[in-house]
A = this chain, B = another copy of it.
Amino acid sequence: MASDDVPATGSTFDDPVYRTGVTELIGILCYGEISATERLAEDATMAPDLATKAEILAMAAAEWDHFEKLRERLAGLVDEPYPFIEQFAPIFDRFHAQTSPSDWLEGLVKAYVGDGLAADFYREIAAFLDSDTRELVLETLSGTGHSDFVVDAVRGAIAAEPRVGGRLALWGRRLMGEALSQAQMVVAERDALSAVMVGGIDHPGLDLAGIGRMFARITESHAARMDKLGLDA
C-alpha cells in the first residue's frame, strides 16, 4: 500500500484539474479492461483443453464486469463515454504490439504478470483519489481469483522442460519494461492525470523520493510474482 507516502485527501470534483485527471484515469481503466477482455478471449482460443479454456474465459468475463462498473461511473462524468475511452487506445495498443505472445505459455505469463502489474499501478494511484473513486478503482482491480491455475501451468511446463524457464524469465522482464515505459509515457502526456499524483496547492502528492519508493514497491511485487511462477525476475 502507498498509504505511508500519501494520505488520501479531501480533493474533490470542484477542482477542474483533479476532475479532468480522474476522468482520464477512469477512461484509461475502461480501455484497459476492454483490452484485457479481448486479449484473454484470444488467449482462450489457444488453450490446451476445455477446462483451461473455461478458466481463461472466466478471467475475461471478470474483466468485463469491471469494465461495466467503470463505464457506468464514466457516463456520469462525460457525455459520450466511448469516444472518450477510445482516445486511450494507443496506450494499450502500443503495449500489446510490443508484447505479442508467441505461444500459449507466453500468453499465460502475460495475463498473470500484466494483471498483477496493472493492479499494482492502480492501487498506487488509488491512494491519491477521493474515497468514492478510490473504492471503485480498488473494487475493479480485485483479483479475479482465477489465476492460480497459471502458476500450476507455468511451473508444470518448466518441470517438463527446464529450458522454458529461461525463455519465460526473459519474457517477464520484457513485459515489465514495456509496462513501465507505457506508464511513463501516459504520465508525461497527461498533465491533469499526473497532477492528481504530483499534488497541488490543496492536496499533497508525491515528491521525487515518493515516486522512487512507489517504483520500488511495484518492482518488488513483480519479482514476487515471477518467483511464484518459478521464474527469475
Confirm or deny: A19 has a beta carbon within 8 angstroms of a beta carbon on chain B: no
Task: Given A38-B41, A38-B44, A41-B42, answer yes or no on A82-B61 (Cβ-Cβ < 8 Å).
Answer: no
B82 touches A54 (CB 8 A): yes
A37 touches B57 (CB 8 A): yes
Cα separation A86 to B50 with both chains bound (whole Å): 7
Confirm or deny: A125 has a beta carbon within 8 angstroms of a beta carbon on chain B: no
A65 touches B61 (CB 8 A): yes
A86 (CB) vs chain B CBs: closest residue: B50
Cα separation A60 to B34 with both chains bound (whole Å): 12
Confirm or deny: A64 has a beta carbon within 8 angstroms of a beta carbon on chain B: yes
* Chain B residues with CB below 8 A from A85, complex form: 50
Total number of A residues with any Cβ neighbor in B under 8 Å: 26
Confirm or deny: A189 has a beta carbon within 8 angstroms of a beta carbon on chain B: no
Cα separation A65 to B34 with both chains bound (whole Å): 17
* Chain B residues with CB below 8 A from A37, complex form: 41, 57
Cα separation A50 to B58 with both chains bound (whole Å): 22
* Chain B residues with CB below 8 A from A86, complex form: 49-50
Cα separation A45 to B42 with both chains bound (whole Å): 9
Confirm or deny: A73 has a beta carbon within 8 angstroms of a beta carbon on chain B: no
Chain A positions 13 through 41: 1 when the CB is less than 8 Å from some CB of chain B, otherwise 0 = 00000000000000000000010011001
Chain A positions 62 through 79: 1 when the CB is less than 8 Å from some CB of chain B, otherwise 0 = 001101100100000000
